[in-house]
Amino acid sequence: QAFFRPIISAAPPSPTKRHTKISVIGAGNVGMAIAQTILTQDLADELVLVDAKADKLLGEMLDLQHAAAFLPRTKIMADVDYAVTAGSDLCIVTAGARQMPGEARLNLLHRNVALYRAIVPPLVKYSPETILLIVSNPVDILTYVAWKLSGFPSNRVIGSGTNLDSSRFRFLIADHLDVSAQDVQAYIVGEHGDSSVALWSSISVGGVPILSFLHKQEIFYEKETLENIHKEVIDGAYQVIRLKGYTSWAIGYSVANLARTLLRDQRRIHPVSVIAKGFYGIEGGDVFLSLPARLGRSGVLGVANVHMNDEETRRLQSSAETILELTGQLEI
Ligand code: 6V0
């Protein structure tokens, strides 16, 4: 006898009902922080983990499954075989070697390009309609690599880019002014890394443009103060890595936030790595770097035309050149 007796003859679920499947590739510190944030925020019906280490993968899957009584119902699966990712709406790639203390993100490049050759083609094979969200570093270059290897239109390949740097930036400004970071609108754009650009000229707090407010009130500030805040953003990741060995929680929230915007078609603007050629005077080749992008269910819907002064535009273009120089050396 069945445990439940149906009250009416069971109709099959409607084929139009949305069922959301997210795959996370790389079950390391970052992948697991992303996975657990996705679970607690109820963003997926199915969550898949893939990693090269079978035992670690199984252990992580069981550990998450054992939290079932405290979480919204999500089917959690894990396998070293990419077939398990079939039909994913979103594939988040975190697999890769990570930064050693003091190591620049760009140094990771060659190690991680080789890994991507093994990761991207099977993801594309099993989920030809998916959105690829790249997290491994150097994220801008690996987003370009994933775009090339996937053959996807550029709206479906996104790098987490400076979404995290911008959160660090908003936190520091909010801390300075003693307000919530959610009321601070501030973007870091360009490379996720040392050549990132802080867009001071467009920062607003509670709708008030900060720099013009200071000018109007004749409040003096040192340019150095601003530069130090940006420097603190850049040093942020290095500092966390130096202290605890890796970064995880902030990137977990940052990527889950992107997953929500994409899969729930929120059309929010996030600074993420997108194909940047043709925007803000960036020319010279296909380059991915972070720009304020409008995101929705089909991926990147457009790039916002935020105000940048001449110096910010120049710095952004130079950030693009830094990345282009490296991508130019790759054979994909
Ligand atoms: P980690 O803890 O070493 O995890 C990496 C995982 O990838 C390990 O579990 C590996 O077994 C797995 N892996 C390696 N090769 C493969 C493969 N071929 N297929 C499947 N899995 C594989 O590193 P951590 O999780 O700390 O960092 C992962 C990546 O995220 C690194 O490249 C970081 O630099 C990058 N980050 C990017 C951030 C961003 O803002 N974009 C922020 C933080 C870290």
**Position in ligand 1 atom list of the atom nearest CA 118:** 18
Q: Per the structure block, which two tokens stand in for 163?
A: 């979404």
Other C-beta atoms lying within 10 Å of the C-beta of residue 221:
11
Quote the pLDDT of residue 26.
98
pLDDT of the residue at 2: 79
Dump pLDDT digits (tens) for 17-61. 679 999 999 999 999 999 999 999 999 999 999 999 999 999 999
ipTM: 0.99
How many A from CA of 103 to the centre of ligand 1?
A: 15
Report percent pLDDT > 90 for the chain.
Answer: 76
Pocket of ligand 1 contains residue 26 by CB under 6 Å: yes
For ligand 1, the distance from its centroid to the CA atom of residue 87, given in whole angstroms, is: 23
Helix (H, G, I), strand (E, B), or coil: what is residue 157?
Answer: strand
Distance (Å) from CA 315 to ligand 1 centroid: 29
Per the residue annotation, which of 19, 110, 192, 215 is the catalytic one?
Answer: 192
Q: Which residues pair with 47 in a beta bridge?
A: 22, 76
Q: How far is the CA of 164 from the centre of ligand 1 (A)?
A: 16
> What does the pLDDT read at residue 1?
74
Q: What is the pLDDT of residue 220?
A: 75
Are 205 and 177 contacting, i.e. CB atoms less than 8 angstroms apart?
yes
Atom 42 of ligand 1: nearest residue by CA position: 251
Q: Which amino acid is at 306?
A: V
Using a 6 Å cutoff on CB, does residue 166 contact ligand 1?
A: no
- Which of the residue ranges 11-15, 213-217, 290-294 would you say has the lowest mean pLDDT? 11-15
94 in contact with ligand 1, CB cutoff 6 A: yes
Top mutation candidate among 55, 98, 123 for ligand 1, by most atoms within 8 Å of CB: 98
Per-residue model confidence (pLDDT) at position 10: 63
Q: Where are the beta strands (DSSP E) in 6-159?
A: 21-25, 46-50, 75-79, 90-93, 131-134, 157-159
The pLDDT, as a whole number, for residue 166 is 97
Q: What is the per-residue pLDDT across 284-312, written as a single tens digit (0 to 9) for each?
A: 889 999 999 999 999 999 999 888 999 99
Mean pLDDT for the stretch of residues 249-257: 98
Mean pLDDT of the chain: 92
- Contacts of residue 163, defined as CB under 8 A and 6 or more positions apart, other chains included, come to 254, 255, 257, 258, 270, 271, 272, 290
- What are the tens digits of pLDDT across the range 66-113? 999 999 999 999 999 999 999 999 999 999 887 777 777 667 788 899
Band (pLDDT 50/70/90 cuts) for residue 263 is: very high
Q: Is 145 in the pocket of ligand 1 (CB under 6 A)?
A: no
Three-state DSSP state, 311: helix
- Whether the CB-CB separation of 79 and 122 falls below 8 Å is answered with no
pTM higher than 0.90? yes
Establish whether 192 is a catalytic residue. Answer: yes
Residue whose structure tokens are 């199915």: 46
Q: How confident is the model at residue 13 (pLDDT cuts 50, 70, 90)?
A: low
Q: What is the CB neighbour count within 10 angstroms for residue 323?
A: 26
Mutate to test the pocket of ligand 1, among 24, 36, 93, 136 (most ligand atoms within 8 A of CB): 136
- pLDDT score recorded for residue 218: 76
Residue 16 pLDDT level (bands cut at 50, 70, 90): low
Rounded Cα–Cα distance for residues 144 and 274 (Å): 9
Reported as a pLDDT band with limits 50, 70 and 90, residue 217 is: confident
Q: Whose CA is nearest to atom 13 of ligand 1?
A: 95
pLDDT of residue 93: 98
Ligand 1 pocket, 290 CB below 6 A? no
Q: Does position 248 have pLDDT exceeding 70, yes or no?
A: yes
Does the CB atom of residue 160 touch ligand 1 within 6 A? yes
